Amino acid sequence: MSSSTSVGTDEHPAVVLTGITKRFPGVVANSDVHLTVRRGEVHALCGENGAGKSTLMKILYGMQPPDEGTIEVNGEQVRFRTPSDAIKAGIGMVHQHFMLADNLTVQENVVLGAEALHGIGKKARARIIELSGRTGLNVDPGVLVEQLGVADRQRVEILKVLYRGAKVIILDEPTAVLVPQEVNELFDTVRGMQEQGYTFLFISHKLDEVRAIADSVTVIRRGTTVGSADPKTVSSRQLAEMMVGSELPSPETRESTVTDKVMLDVRGLTLKTPDGSRAILEDVDLVVRSGEVVGIAGVEGNGQTELVETIMGMRKAGSGTITLLDKDLTKLGTLGRREAGIGYIPEDRHRHGLLLTQPLWYNRILGYQTRKPTAKGIWLDTDGAKKDTERIVADFDVRTPGIDVPAAALSGGNQQKLVVGRELSGDPVLLIASHPTRGVDVGAQALIWDEIKRARAAGLAVLLISADLDELIGLSDTIKVMLRGRLVADADPSTVTPEDLGSAMTGAGSTSAAVQETAVVEEGEN
């Protein structure tokens, strides 16, 4: 195969998808999708969550067969039955969630499943070292993967597909797990490899990134390709409107509604690992006032989940106090804290928010089994629950044929709207929202943002945890940065940029006046 750096039109394109259609029970995930990827380019595929990007890539990677349509690679029509067929044709995929064995070395992870190529010994090692250079991975192949950071793990994933001979590399939301600085490094790697003749299919819904890296863009909406654009000339807003097909929502809340009435007051909160060896949360102080949204920024795994679950009483704090409206919650269980007025949008609605096989109205009762309108004393009030579920379905635009369908039958965005509607009922004084718009479509996202803003204007205190820095900056009145179980810095959302926050989140120290460090970071790099 010749590798050309020029984007030739006389040659066959690297990949052509024609008329791809894929149906699942209840939905058409892809319908009549057309996509042409020229050799040596970075081609971005944009679309909202649930638009059908991942399904399309699974089809291209041989994980699912299309119901209709054809796939051409280098001008030849191919039919992939399994991913190994796709790999043979030179297509490799780097999944959004890494598929690496932490307790194996880099070399073992790369060679695993491809032992036939260069064995498992010196030859394999030499090949890996040769390829590492191309991905910018500067570690010895004998290092355990568990010792690598997120960016290096991603390089190992890219290395894996290169080792298997991929010329076309699918990157599925590669930046979702990276902080801004790491994103830039990834892009440098991608450009370097592009010059060596590799072709990239870059899946993302982050439009600034798409415009920064892609040579051409194809937009997918509601399962079908709606058009292509030149990233050099198109604006993010135009791209976004192609994705959404309508006017864009914005998370921004400009007028401040912050009062000086303290709703949640957390002092000295400490949580240890079950064996008591390490602190997950260390001496956390946090105040949320009426009408205020306090956002917590942090790379995942730095204690945000645990902070929320400790405030909710699902984990038992080692020390510290939690006060809500002058009422001491420290000794109460989860139910007592909910009754005191905390609404809780959990980060994983399937694990923590819903009873999936139960009808919607039954889900309305969860967390409210002791209160009106879903209960009277020890008795459930099923009529009240049903009536109130109808209200949520109407007010929060939950798209469902009725309240008797099981929660699992709804799409992610509609499930989330139901959860948000439930947690905002019963006049809560504090809402804890963990990644409230994760995995939902833009329409649901706008509605959820609006509802949070409306409740805030009415005096609700909100504690917001989000990995989406734009959401965090747009919604919050105050941002606190969490690193290794501590709140280490405050940021002013009116002036801070995602890059500043990214630096603070990795503990690299801040160069911006918008981020004020509040605690000395141990083992800090700066």
Partner 1 sequence: MGHLRGKLLPPALAIVFSLLLCGVALIISGANPLSAFGAMVSQVGKGTTAVDILNSTGIYYIAALAVAIGFQMNLFNIGVEGQYRVAAVVAAVVGGSIALPTGIHTLVIIIAAAVAGAAWAAIPAILKVTRGVNEVISTIMMNGLAIGLSAYLIRRDVFGELRGNNIRTAEIPESGWMPGISFAGGGTVFGFIFVAIALGVGYWIMMNKTRFGFELRASGESSTAASAGGVNAKKMILVSMLLSGAIAGLISLPELLGRDHTFSLNFTAGIGFSGIAIALLGRNHPGGIAFGALLWAFLDKSGLALDNVGVPREIVTIMQGSIVLSVVVAYEVVRRFELASEQRRVGRELGTVGGAA
Give phi and psi for 419, each to the nearest 5: -65, -45
Cβ 338 to partner 1 shortest distance, Å: 5
Residue (107 or 400) nearer to partner 1, CB:
400
Least gap, CB of 54 to partner 1 (angstroms) = 4
Nearest residue to 157 (alpha-carbon basis) of 97, 207, 88, 236: 97
Sheet holding 319-324, edge to edge: 279-289, 262-272, 319-324, 327-328
Dihedral (C-alpha) 154, 157, 162, 164: value to the nearest 10 degrees?
180
Residue for token pair 């998370």 = 251
- Of the candidate spans 12-20, 254-262, 355-363, 508-516, the one that interacts with partner 1 by CB under 8 A turns out to be 355-363
Compose the 267-306 pattern: x for residues touching partner 1 by CB under 8 A, - for all others: ----------------------------------------
401 binds partner 1 (CB under 8 A): yes
Number of residues that bind partner 1 (CB under 8 A): 57
Nearer to partner 1, 173 or 292 (CB): 173
The span from the CA of 463 to the CA of 304, in Å, is 11
Binding flag, residue 176, partner 1 (CB under 8 A): no
Which lies closer to partner 1 via its Cβ, residue 290 or residue 445?
445
**8 Å CB contact between 266 and 311:** yes
Min CB(313)–partner 1 separation in Å: 8
What mask of x and - would describe binding to partner 1 in positions 109 to 148, judged by CB under 8 A? ----------------------------------------
**Given candidates 18, 36, 270, 370, which one binds partner 1 under the rule CB under 8 A?**
370
Q: Which residue type sits at 169?
A: I
Smallest CA-to-CA distance from 264 within 463, 67, 404, 493 is with: 463
The full length of the chain comes to 526
Phi then psi for residue 327, to 5 deg, are -105, 125
Please, are residues 422 and 374 in contact by the beta-carbon 8 Å criterion?
Answer: no
Write the single-letter amino acid at 334.
T
**Binding string, residues 45-64; x marks residues near partner 1 by CB under 8 A:** ----xxxxxxx---------
Nearer CB in complex with partner 1: 205/484:
205
Beta carbon nearer to partner 1, 355 or 513 = 355
Candidate segments 142-150, 176-184, 204-212, 337-345, binder of partner 1 by CB under 8 A: 337-345
351 contributes a contact to partner 1 by CB under 8 A: yes
- Find, among 201, 206, 208, the residue nearest to 172 by Cα: 201
CA pair distance 312, 316, nearest whole angstrom: 9
Residue range at the interface with partner 1 (CB under 8 A); choices 78-86, 182-190, 279-287, 360-368: 360-368
Q: Among 232, 275, 378, 523, which residue interacts with partner 1 (rule: CB under 8 A)?
A: 378
Which lies closer to partner 1 via its Cβ, residue 78 or residue 335?
335
Based on CB atoms, which residue is closest to partner 1, 377 or 523?
Answer: 377
Asked whether position 226 contacts partner 1 by CB under 8 A, the answer is no
Using the minimum distance from each CB to partner 1, give the nearer residue, 53 or 125: 53
Does 408 interact with partner 1 (rule: CB under 8 A)? yes
Q: Which x/- pattern over 439-478 shows residues binding partner 1 (rule: CB under 8 A)?
A: --x-------------------------------------
Q: How far apart are CA 363 and CA 33, in angstroms?
A: 37
* Residues 289 and 473 sit within 8 Å (Cβ to Cβ): no
Per CB under 8 A, the segment of 233-241, 295-303, 336-344, 492-500 that binds partner 1 is 336-344
Helix then strand then coil, % of the chain, to nearest 5 = 35, 25, 40
Q: Are the beta carbons of 186 and 174 closer than 8 angstroms? A: yes
User: Is 508:526 a contact under the CB 8 Å cutoff?
Assistant: yes
Is residue 32 exposed (0-12), middle (13-18) or buried (19+ Cβ within 10 Å)? Answer: middle
Beta-carbon contacts of residue 29 (< 8 Å; ≥ 6 apart)? 22, 23, 52, 55, 223
Query: Residue numbers of the site for partner 1 (CB under 8 A)?
Result: 24-29, 31, 49-55, 222-224, 312, 314, 333-339, 344, 346, 351-358, 365-367, 369-370, 375, 378-380, 382, 399-401, 405-406, 408-412, 441
